[in-house]
Structure 1
């Protein structure tokens, strides 16, 4: 193990990269691909809680409501989620849109939660309303490359 650690440290010290400025001519010669492709894995340890509050919401009563995912454990991994801006969308192909291509694969590794709740406060209390619980394990493949376009309308 020590040899492996030393080798990794040596390799990291030898690695070198540099960012350089490009003049206008060099910049105009550059080509690339638009959009972002994301692959990520999130692992949740015992006791993980996610609390969300919409601060811009206008509630009927003065209570500040929270969505709480309580006691989240396991992991979720996405592979190949793509986000892109397109500008030739719509019947006349003159609209811009955010194009979201579903991931190629979503892997659930014993992902579960005690419950998803709505109520006042960041932690679940007696006044929180239970919405649902989740328990997922397995793989979801989407080979069709399903695309969702989000665009403004008049």
Structure 2
């Protein structure tokens, strides 16, 4: 008797699921007119999680694009260069390598029209908002912060002054939001 009841229950569940799927399949998508869309509100944004590895020690085979870390005569790792002024030098993160993992980085827009000691009302515009994740994991991360005359070491006239070297291991707890304000006239 219990097998009959189980069999009947399975058939009813299957019939219900099939009926539900047929209702969904019969639903038709239709374009919305502008007047209907004007009443729709919501939030937009992006939620990011990732795991990045650049010539990480003990990781998979090193990427030759970033150089070989076994060769002591060559630099290895990635390079990020940022020009501070149109006619100025470059601030660089050099020999960047290791593993980074994060979950929950958000990216969205935010309107600033109040706060900031009264400057928010004066600004009255949109900013890019990066929501920082709770924990970022570092696995043998190393890089140098330096000043450079050119963005690439292979450029003519290259000169670099290393300011300091950073090594990180473990978890870093990050809280809050990073707001990116536009400069100049919109």
TM > 0.5 between the two? yes
* TM-aligned CA distance change 1:136 to 1:55, over 3 Å: closer
Aligned match of 1:85 in 110, 113, 122?
110
**Hey, what does 1:24 align to over in structure 2?**
34
CA spacing shift, 1:20–1:133, aligned 2, 3 Å: farther
Structure-2 separation of matches of 1:57 and 1:76: 31
CA deviations on 1:12-66 (whole Å, 9 max, x unpaired) are xxxxxxx97543255335432134333333211252221414285223xxxxx33
2-structure distance, mates of 1:148, 1:70: 24
Aligned to 1:68: 92
- Which residue pairs with 2:167 in the alignment? 135
Calculate the TM-score normalised by the size of structure 1: 0.60
Q: Which has the higher contact order (CA 8 A, sep 6+)?
A: 1
Which structure 2 residues correspond to residues 1-154 of structure 1 after superposition, within 5 A?
21-45=31-55, 46=62, 47-54=76-83, 57-59=86-88, 65-82=89-106, 83-90=108-115, 91=118, 94=121, 95-98=124-127, 99-113=129-143, 115-121=144-150, 122-123=152-153, 127-142=159-174, 145-149=175-179
Alpha-carbon distance in structure 1 between the residues aligned to 2:145 and 2:182: 31
Listed as ranges, the gaps of 5+ residues in structure 2 are 1-28, 56-61, 63-75
- RMSD of the alignment, in Å? 3.5
Higher share of residues assigned helix? 2
Q: Give the 3-state SS of the residue equivalent to 1:38 in structure 2.
A: strand
What is the count of residue pairs matched by the alignment? Answer: 127
